[in-house]
A and B are shown apart, each in its own frame.
With several copies, the nearest count.
Chain A
């Protein structure tokens, strides 16, 4: 019998260790043929940005990501899925979000990770505020129509 498909969801201040999370997801099983890892990073926006500040709705953020992950596991028959989102101040070059999808074949793993990111962007209650290199606090990042369109392509 195949092992269950473990789903891990975390929201945390600390950075994550992609290798350790991947090892945890694949440990003790040899039925997976594909791992797709997505890591979202803070860009410096051409040197303009000093940091992003990530705010979230505790409880709902974890629950929304959890629901998205369960949908992805079912829809793409994933063998495992991990999603970790950081909050707090994040400097350019640092990690923001991690999704790891484990599947027997590559297309399911690619689709699973991509699906989670497209839904997470539009459904999970996180907000980004920009802090600029010149000391000004920028505004809140606007939601993008392109993210809604990306999500819509899955329905």
Chain B
């Protein structure tokens, strides 16, 4: 099981802030994860429609989409940040 956390409009569109999920062995990178999640339903497909704007953090650190996710305890998906 991998813990996924969502923020801002990714969270709103998916309809939850976090979930524990079993990922197929074929899901090896951030990009793989986005494509897999989009198969789980319309909410996911809507939230992750524009993959290139989705930011990914593994264990609370920013990563590129092609980063391997093996061993991740927590993967976060969120829109570009707008703090400050």
Hey, what's the 0/1 contact readout for A45-61 against B, CB within 8 Å counting as 1? 00000000011110111
Residues of A in contact (CB 8 Å), total: 30
Residue of B nearest to A34 (CB): B84
Q: Summarize A's interface: helix, strand, loop or mixed.
A: mixed
Q: A40-B84, A55-B8, A97-B84 are in contact. Are A140 and B60 (CB under 8 A)?
A: no
A57 with B57: CB separation less than 8 A = yes
Instruction: Give the residue of A121, A122, A123, A143 whose beta carbon is less than 8 angstroms from that of B79.
Output: A143
Question: Which chain B residue shows the least CB distance to A128?
Answer: B82
Residue of A nearest to B55 (CB): A125
- The answer to whether A96 and B57 have CB atoms under 8 Å apart is no
Please name all residues of chain B whose beta carbon is closer than 8 Å to the beta carbon of A106 when the two chains form the complex: 84
Looking at the complex, which one of B5, B60, B79, B84 makes contact with A117 (CB distance below 8 Å)?
B84
A128 to B79, CA, bound (A): 11
Residue contact A126 to B79, C-beta cutoff 8 Å = no
- Please measure, in the bound complex, the distance between the C-alpha atom of A22 and the C-alpha atom of B9, giving whole angstroms: 35
B82 touches A143 (CB 8 A): yes
Q: Cα distance A55–B12 when bound, in Å?
A: 12
Q: Count residues of chain B with CB under 8 A from any CB of chain A.
A: 16
Whether B8 contacts A121 by the Cβ 8 Å rule is: no
Q: Does A63 contact B (CB under 8 A)?
A: yes
- Cross-chain contact B7 with A127 (CB below 8 angstroms): yes
Expressed in whole angstroms, the Cα–Cα distance for A59 and B80 within the complex equals: 18
Do A60 and B60 touch (CB < 8 A)? yes
Q: How far, in whole Å, are A130 and B82 apart by their CA atoms in the complex?
A: 12
Whether A127 contacts B76 by the Cβ 8 Å rule is no
What is A's interface to B at a CB cutoff of 8 Å? 40, 54-57, 59-61, 63, 85, 96-97, 106, 117, 120-129, 139-143, 147
- Interchain residue pairs A-B with the least CB separation, the first 3: A126-B83, A143-B80, A127-B8
- B interface residue numbers (CB < 8 A to A): 5, 7-9, 57, 60-62, 76, 78-84
